[in-house]
Amino acid sequence: MPTASPLPDSESERPPSVASENTKRPKGKEETFEETHQRFTGWMDKKLKKQFDDLVTEKGASKTALLNEAITLLLHKQERKPYMRQK
């Protein structure tokens, strides 16, 4: 059984790159996905993974987008950083 990766499975699933104001790139040049994201490995309860995979399928969203949203909300709940609504 293939293991799930927190990163998108294909180029088409990747969210659009985000331009940063604090880069040394020429104006108008957007950062690449690899420059704005970091790959990681972790363990997840099997029941949670099944529910997560079902949600990914239901919403048609990438695992990366859903994990980023969930972690943003968790950090807000734990008062680690301000909540910023995702676009």
For residue range 8-49, list pLDDT tens digits in order.
444 444 444 333 344 455 677 899 999 999 999 999 999 999
Q: Rounded CA gap, 83 and 64, in Å? A: 18
Q: How far is CA 58 from the centre of its chain?
A: 17
What does the block give as tokens for 12? 């088409």
Q: What is the tally of helices (H) and strands (E) in the chain?
A: 3, 0
Ordered domains of the chain (ranges, CATH): 11-77 (1.10.1220)
Q: What is the pTM of this model?
A: 0.57
